[in-house]
Every structure is written in structure tokens, then in C-alpha cells.
Structure 1
């Protein structure tokens, strides 16, 4: 207790008169006192003016500092250079989330690389702020952080899918984080050594007491390091989940698109028939989340019952098994990517596009770009383009960005896996898919261009769409009751072609109409009607 509250300004006991002089000369002989004038200056003396050789300095004297050593000063300069480099890299990664610079596109979300660089930059700032107050707990936390980051690096480099998703940008970010963590350990030890050396040389002994200000500084830094250690632990746990999810094989195949910039997942079910070339293939477009968790099970039931003979479904970039696309990425770009994937899979029309919610915007764009091959359009409670203003709200974009930055911590995914028993399927294509960084990045991209690029593309598609294409619209009665404008806009969508087969309103059905008994029955009946009309239009 005495050492905690004592101030360093209290001078340590020194020997009297000649004894003190003798003691000082003894330290000179041992190489710890001020160097005689006829000796060559050493690392310990060249930065200081010569002091009275007959006594010692006060521990609080500004001259008693580890900065007297050129190695300590050089180490601090190196930390400043590393901080400048980290900040520049952090800026590039921040920009790449919104606009992908050349050669910096990540097939994954990019949030892991950004989080590691943010961590590294903060770690360097912390080390520089508390440069002269090192402690053993800091070294211990530093060692734990370095070990966890080394594990992260091994996972990223060792799991092929994660390595491809993160790309050279993510690999460089984690390697830099490991290097800085090791640098911080070395820095803490070197400053500790330099502080002890200068205290022994200039005050006669190592100073073991700390002022209250120093204790508070050490306590504050330790608290921050504990938080950083927990964050690193969460990074590691989230990467372990990603490694587990990477082992889940896709139902179809992944095709490289846009000059092999990234891959998208496409699966087709059913045999092609040469006997009935007019038989359409159903192209399924999901709503808010992965199609495997929404429309695909319903369409597969129709295939099993014989109502349709062949269907294809895909994951939009950032969903399911598909990589993230470079930013910016609009709905029209996604429609073009689907066209490319179908061509690579050697799939051809006629096609009937079936979609729900926001996916209807994507299917309408696809239909307008394949006028002669699309023989039917089926919209299930579709989202009208007037609602793109809601999708593109800046506040929504900021929340998505913040969720993305925090996503490497994996708090929701880890809780789902540990407490709620969420599986790989849940996280990749199921109810927990919205928690992944890829999904958040895709939604952020959707937000950024909703009122600009996507809005213009949908308006053009409406002008181009062939009027003779058979159309079916099925709307949710609940949505129409909750939003007075929804009914009016559903009616407007029933006029995107001149050949409306039917527009049905299922009064008690939710937005996911297929989850309601009556809604499911209406969808099954109308899908058969549309397939029949598609055959007749060929």
C-alpha cells in the first residue's frame, strides 16, 4: 500500500558525503554512472549532457527516460511509420466497401480485412499513447493476442474457400496484424529494459514505485487490451464457424462470371426433354434472403408433383454459396450475371420467371433482357419500384455498414450456434444467413444504388418489356391492409404486360404467400395456368 500511494518525487535514501561519492564512483566503475570525459560516449550517454559525477538524479527528473537510448527512440519511430501505413491501408479498405478499386475486390464481404486493419491501427495508437509505462500484464495480453492472430492466419490460409474469399487483401491484412502484434510485444519489453537501465544508471537503482497517474495509465491500457483480446477471441471463433460452413457442398455448381472476378451458384433440377422443346424451364428468384429458404422448397414440391418438369434456381451475389460482387453492384448487373451463369451451364429457354418480393425487381430485369426467351412472368407479392426509396435510405445504409463492421465478431452467429443449435445449413442458406458478412455486404450494395442505378434500370425494363408475355400476380392481403399504397402498386404491377392471366389477392396470407394454406393452393393453380399459357405462346 505504501508503494502504491508514494510519489516518485520522494528521493530514495542515499549514502552521506564520502560514502555517496564512493558509491557513485563504484557505479562508474561498473559502467552505470556518468561516463568520464575522456571515455567514448555510449548509447546510454550520447543523448545526455554530462551530469555531476558526485551524485544521482531524482527519479522524477525528465532526464531519467528510456528515450535516452537510441534503440528505444528508433523503435518508437518505427511504430509511427507502421501507424501511418496502417491508416493508409485502413482508408483504402474503407473505400473498397463502397467502391472496389482495381485489383482490390474481395470475393468475401471485405469486413474481416477492414476489422483486422482497424484492430491493428488501434493497437498501434494504444502502444504509442502508453509507450513509457510498460507492464507485465500488457506483455501477457500481447502474447495472447499474437497467438490468437496466428491461429486466425492459419485458418484463413489453410481453408481454401476462406482463402479465396478473403483474397490477397484479407491475407495481407491478417499477416500485417500478426506482425504488429509481435512488434508490440517486443516494444513493451525493450521499453521496460530501457527504463530499468536508465533508472539504474542515473538514480542508482531501479524505480519500483509508480505514481497514481502511472497506475491509472496502466489500468486503463490493461482494460483496453482485455477488450481487444476478447475481440480477437471472437474473430477466431467466427473464423472457426466459417471454416465449418465452408465444408457444406452446394446443391448445384458454382460458375465463374465477369472475367472470373467471382463465382455464383446455380442449380437446375429435372431432365431436359428434346421431345417437347416448348416446355418451359422455371427460373426461381428469391425474396429478401437465400432462395433455398424461401421459394425453392415450394417450387420443388411442384416439381415433385409433376406440375413442372424442370426448374433452375440461383443465389444472387453475396447470398448462399455465391461470392460477393465488386461494388457498386445493381439489380441489372445481377440479372446479367444470371444470364452469364445460365449460358455457362448450357441452359436455354423458353423460361418462366417466378419471383417474390424484392426478387421480382431482378426477375423483371432478366425478363426485359431476354424478350424472346421469357414466355411467362409470375410475381408473388412483388415489390414495386416506388419502394426503392425505402431500400436506399441513408440511415438504413449506415446501419448495414455498422452491422458489417461488427460482423467479424460473430456475436449473433456464435450465440445461434452455441445456444440455439443453428447448423451450417442455417447459416449458409437458412434462417441465420442474414447474419453473415457476405449477406450484409450484398444488402449494403443494394442500398447504395437503389435510388440511382437500380431505379433507372427498372424504369427502362418497364419500357422494353414485351406486352404479349403472359403474366400472373398473386398478392398478400395482409400487406394490402397494412399499407394502403400496396394495393394500388400491386395493381400497377399487374399491367407491366398486356397479357394478364390473373391477379389474385389472398386475404389472410402474409408476404410469404406460399406459407399460407390458401395462398399455397392459389399459387399452385396459377403456376399451372401460367405454364399452360407459356406453352401456347410458343
Structure 2
């Protein structure tokens, strides 16, 4: 009986010990049921699959949260991508939106790469991640401190930037959590933290470090470009900015000169419409000289959406929509005409739409190498639109703008309205909008404008001889544009002039001569 009692005591002790071990089971032992009480050595090989940070519920939770954040960021990236083509209500950025797209793209790449290399944390990745977060923070300070940039980016750009900053901080938290979990499990299961890495792990660490290095380099370039934007915002516009389309964006309007009268009526104001370049880059100087020469009395011009000081408009934006915004801006500026319209290149498309909608207020039309509606496919072809979009995506890097400022002495004026204005993300966005609807919405509006155009409005066409010699279809279309009304005043060909006819002395003199006649001053 004593023997039986001792056996029962041993059995009860074994059961109690087993129950004690079972009661003490935690997230580690539950994941390793075959290794508990199995008689295997207490430490495992570092290469054993059971030695993993995923044993910890904290690490698994961090990965799930990272996956959820990646999904949310991807959805916001889709919204930003679509906004360049069709702007969702309330998501219009007045600066073009390419900076916001860059921020969400960087956040998406960071989170996606973090998931791919989740189980291989590294010190180098954390250092580069800290630099990234610091650069995002610097961007936030600049944007919030500079009123003009804050106006252009509005809440969409600011929130996107703050989200990217938050995601960069989360990536650091996730990396550090995995590092902690890795050390915890290696200490518990192998007896010490593992310092060596397999070839596959080294490859992952190298790729992850390289990706973060490239993103930091991108952010550094964006920082320089953002600083240039801050510097350029100090350049005051010559005119004033007027809110249009329920104050969604602003149009810059500038007028100069005094109202004059002939013996019978007011002399019309000359309204300039730029071509591929801003009015300020060429035609403005011509207008100033014409006022000094007495060829014109008063003139106005307005920058189209995205050009010079004007904000970008929501997409899509056709010529008709742009002219409605111009009409609203002119009314707000107190400018009511009558008008003589002077336009160049694609600007003639806009002027013709404006003329057809203002009836008796337009007293004359002078077009310098005007673009014909049948040639709008050159502006609106898909290849050009894609190149503009691609340039816009790269524009936050400021590769040309920064190098121009550092090595070519480009000034604020050069970047806002001068020779480097085409490099601005805002201007590229405006050109992209123009291209997307040129051969569809805009073309239909111009065709309609020709039908309803007042046929008693005098028209002057001035063409580049050089352009007509190299492009016979251009010559044919120039001839057709002399018939948009029944009152053709003149069709002049300046033989050796480029498309910007006013850049030659003969061209300037001819334009002034024709303007004086349209204005009734000669």
C-alpha cells in the first residue's frame, strides 16, 4: 500500500507540474505546442522556422495595421491620380496637385516596401527613415508658413503631406517593433540575439536601404524646389487676382493706360490673349511700347488657368469654360469693354470663343499666326497629353528649375512668367488640361463660336512666312481664318518672321499699324 501511495504521489506531482506548465502557457508556447514537454533541447537552431518575430501578437498586429494603412494610402493615391483628369468635388488644388501626388506616392512606396521587407529590420533603414520623416516635417513647415503655397495646395496638399509624414513615422515604429520582436524570440529560443544574416536577408536589407535612400534623395530635390516656390511667391503680380467659379480659383488680370475717345465714341480697350507662352513673355513688352507710341490707349490681359500668377482650375477645362472665367474676372475688375481682341497661336482659339459670346462689345479681332480648330489635334493628341502628365509627375523634383537657379542664373520672373515658366508644375497642369479636351470639348466650342460670330466684326490676320513655307496645311488654315467674318481688314504675311511675329521689327510695326486702324486712331 505504501508503494501504491508513493506512485500516486508521483503521478499527482507530474500532473500538477503539467497543469502548471499549461497554465503558464503564453503566446510563445501556444505557437510551439510540439516543443513543450517534448524532451527536445531547450534551445533551437537560429535557422529553425520557429524562431520568428511573428510569434509575437504585437508584431502580427503591427503588420495588419501596416497593411490597412497601405490600402487606405492606395485608395487616396487613386483619387489623386484621377484628379488630374477629372477633379472630384472639393478636391481641387490650385497649384496643380503634382506635389500632393508625389507625397502620397512616397507614402505608398514606403508602406508597400515596408511590408515586403517587414521581417528584416535594419539600423540603416531606421536612419534613412528618420531623415525622411525630418524632410516631410520641413515640407510641412514651409507649406504652412508660406501663404501662397498654402493657398495653392489647400487642405488636400496639406493633409496628404501630413499623412505621408505620419506614415514615415509609422514605418519607423514598425521597423523598431519587428527588431524588438526578433531579439525577443532569438533570446528566448536560441539563447542569444542573432547577429548574422543569411544571403537572402542581406539582399532584402540592401534593397530596402536603397529604396529609402532614393526616396530621401527625391525628398531633398523636392525640398529645393519647394524653397524656390517659396522664393517665387514673393514676386508681386503687376495686376490683381480675382476669384472666379464661386472662388474656387483666381485669375490674374492686368490693365494699363487710360480710356480715350474719338470724336464719336470710346476707343476700345485692347485685350491680349497669349499663345503657348504667357502674355508677359513678349506681348506685354509689345503692349507697353505700343502705348508709348500712341498706337493703343489702354490694354488688358489675363493669365489663363495655371499660367503665371493665375491658379489652376478644376478639370476638365475647355476654352469655353476658360472664357467664362475670364469674363467673370473682367467684370470683377470693373473692365467692361468695348474690346479689340489681340491673340497669338492657340490664344486665338480662346479669343474667338470670347468674341462669339460678347457680341457687340467686340469691335475688332487681330490674330497673330492663329491656330485653326482643324489643327487642334496637334495640341490634343494622346502622346502629347501623356508626355505632359509625365513631366507633371516629375515636376516636384524641380530638376530643370533647381539647375536653372543654381547654374544659369534664372530669376523669380524667369520661373513665374519668363523663359522657365514652362517648367512649373502649375503651368504643366494647365497645359495638360488644355491638351485633354483640345480635340473634343474645345473643338466643338470653337466650331459653334464660328457659327454665332458677329459677321460685322473687322478681322486682321498676321502670319509668319517662315511657318507657312514649312507647313502647307498651316498656310491653308491661315487663309481659312480670314473668313471667320465678312469684314476682313487685312491678311499680312511677314516673310522672315518666326511664329512670334512681334519679335521682329517689321512684325511689331505691322501689328501696331493694324491695331491703330482697328481702334480708329488712324
Using structure 2 for the length normalisation, give the TM-score. 0.93
1:508 paired residue among 474, 492, 496 = 496
Shift of 1:55: 2.3
Cα distance in 1 for partners of 2:19, 2:420 equals: 69
Q: How does 1:94-173 map to 2 (within 5 A)?
A: 94-173=81-160
SS at match of 2:267: coil
Shift of 1:42: 3.7
Cα distance in 1 for partners of 2:493, 2:331 equals: 36
Seen in structure 2, the aligned counterparts of structure 1 residues 431 and 36 have a Cα distance that, compared at 3 Å, is farther
Is this contact kept in 1: 2:458–2:488, CA < 8 A?
yes
Shift of 1:43: 4.7
Residue 360 of structure 1 pairs with residue 348 of structure 2: yes
Shift of 1:400: 0.7
Question: Which position in structure 2 is the counterpart of 1:252?
Answer: 239
SS at match of 1:106: coil
Residue 41 of structure 1 pairs with residue 25 of structure 2: yes
2:452 paired residue among 464, 467, 473 = 464
Cα distance in 2 for partners of 1:134, 1:35 equals: 38
Residue 191 of structure 1 pairs with residue 178 of structure 2: yes
2:208 paired residue among 209, 221, 241 = 221
2:223 paired residue among 217, 236, 241 = 236
Is this contact kept in 1: 2:140–2:162, CA < 8 A?
yes
Cα distance in 1 for partners of 2:172, 2:231 equals: 32
Question: Which position in structure 1 is the counterpart of 2:11?
Answer: none
1:315 paired residue among 281, 298, 303 = 303
Provide, for residues 359-390 of structure 1, a one-character-per-residue CA deviation record: whole Å limited to 9, x for no partner: 01001111111111000100011111111111
Cα distance in 2 for partners of 1:313, 1:43 equals: 72
Cα distance in 2 for partners of 1:148, 1:386 equals: 48
Is this contact kept in 2: 1:258–1:337, CA < 8 A?
yes
Question: Which position in structure 2 is the counterpart of 1:73?
Answer: 60
1:206 paired residue among 193, 199, 220 = 193
Cα distance in 1 for partners of 2:27, 2:154 equals: 45
Question: Which position in structure 1 is the counterpart of 2:337?
Answer: 349
Cα distance in 1 for partners of 2:501, 2:111 equals: 53
Shift of 1:152: 0.6
Shift of 1:222: 1.2
Cα distance in 2 for partners of 1:273, 1:137 equals: 71
Shift of 1:48: 3.2
Is this contact kept in 2: 1:286–1:294, CA < 8 A?
no
2:393 paired residue among 405, 418, 440 = 405
Provide, for residues 504-528 of structure 1, a one-character-per-residue CA deviation record: whole Å limited to 9, x for no partner: 0011000000111222221121121
SS at match of 2:376: helix
Residue 58 of structure 1 pairs with residue 45 of structure 2: yes
Shift of 1:212: 1.2
Is this contact kept in 2: 1:47–1:69, CA < 8 A?
no
Shift of 1:422: 0.7
Q: How does 1:516-531 map to 2 (within 5 A)?
A: 516-531=504-519
Shift of 1:285: 0.4
Question: Which position in structure 2 is the counterpart of 1:447?
Answer: 435
| Structure 1: runs of 5+ lacking an equivalent | 1-33
Is this contact kept in 2: 1:48–1:68, CA < 8 A?
no
Cα distance in 1 for partners of 2:151, 2:260 equals: 37
Seen in structure 2, the aligned counterparts of structure 1 residues 41 and 289 have a Cα distance that, compared at 3 Å, is farther
Shift of 1:35: 12
SS at match of 2:359: coil
Question: Which position in structure 1 is the counterpart of 2:77?
Answer: 90
| Structure 2: runs of 5+ lacking an equivalent | 1-17
Cα distance in 2 for partners of 1:100, 1:38 equals: 60
1:298 paired residue among 267, 286, 293 = 286
Question: Which position in structure 1 is the counterpart of 2:379?
Answer: 391
- For the aligned residues, what is the CA RMSD? 1.6
Seen in structure 2, the aligned counterparts of structure 1 residues 155 and 36 have a Cα distance that, compared at 3 Å, is farther
SS at match of 2:365: strand
SS at match of 1:461: helix
SS at match of 1:379: strand
Is this contact kept in 1: 2:295–2:513, CA < 8 A?
no
Provide, for residues 205-232 of structure 1, a one-character-per-residue CA deviation record: whole Å limited to 9, x for no partner: 1111111111111111111111111001
Is this contact kept in 2: 1:35–1:41, CA < 8 A?
no
Provide, for residues 174-210 of structure 1, a one-character-per-residue CA deviation record: whole Å limited to 9, x for no partner: 0000000001111111111110110010011111111
Is this contact kept in 1: 2:260–2:266, CA < 8 A?
no
Cα distance in 2 for partners of 1:252, 1:113 equals: 29
Question: Which position in structure 2 is the counterpart of 1:336?
Answer: 324
Provide, for residues 44-68 of structure 1, a one-character-per-residue CA deviation record: whole Å limited to 9, x for no partner: 4443324347421111111100011
1:268 paired residue among 234, 255, 269 = 255
Provide, for residues 217-262 of structure 1, a one-character-per-residue CA deviation record: whole Å limited to 9, x for no partner: 1111111111111001111111111111111111010000011111
Is this contact kept in 2: 1:287–1:294, CA < 8 A?
no
Cα distance in 2 for partners of 1:451, 1:267 equals: 30
Using structure 1 for the length normalisation, give the TM-score. 0.91
